[in-house]
Amino acid sequence: MTAVADREMTGARRPRRKLLTPMTGALVAVIVAAGAFAGGVQAQKSRGGGGGAAAGGVPAGLPAGGAGMPAGGPSAASGGTAGTVKYASGDTLYVEQADGTTVRVKVSSGADVTRTASSDAGKIQPGDTVTVQGDANDNGTVKATAITATGS
């Protein structure tokens, strides 16, 4: 008799196969990692992420409680800032970000300042919330090319 016939006669069941083999586990891990990556990409897109600061955000690499970029200069993705104006003097603003970090913003003469109606840097006051676009130099000062300000 064959092994199959022996099992049928004795009522013995064949051994159950493993549900999770090493190959199945590896495939599941790859699928989960791909899904997590795709989810992260979608989350970054929905935040308008380019690596710089979004409203209320802080550019990567800013020291906690510091006043600018780390030594070595800003990365290509960092530029601009967002937060509340704590002090304004002429064409220089000091913007406190959501984490308490203060960034000095130098407003260029050609910067586009928007404040519900077109305005200029002299109209920005402490307590205003601003979004600044521009490039940061080696010491962390942002050279503003455009500013959107809301009154306090």
Nearest to 93 by CA among 119, 54, 61: 119
> Structure pTM?
0.34
Token pair 């077109």 in the structure block, residue: 118
Q: Within a domain: residue 122?
A: no
Please tell me the total count of domains within the chain: 1
Domain that holds residue 26: 3-46
Note down pLDDT in tens along the chain; length 152 residues: 566 666 566 666 777 777 778 888 888 888 999 888 888 888 877 776 554 444 444 444 444 443 443 333 333 345 788 888 888 888 889 988 888 889 899 888 888 887 665 677 888 888 888 888 888 888 888 888 888 887 75
Q: Within a domain: residue 40?
A: yes
Q: Within a domain: residue 150?
A: no
Q: Within a domain: residue 104?
A: no
Rounded Cα distance, 88 and 115, in Å? 15
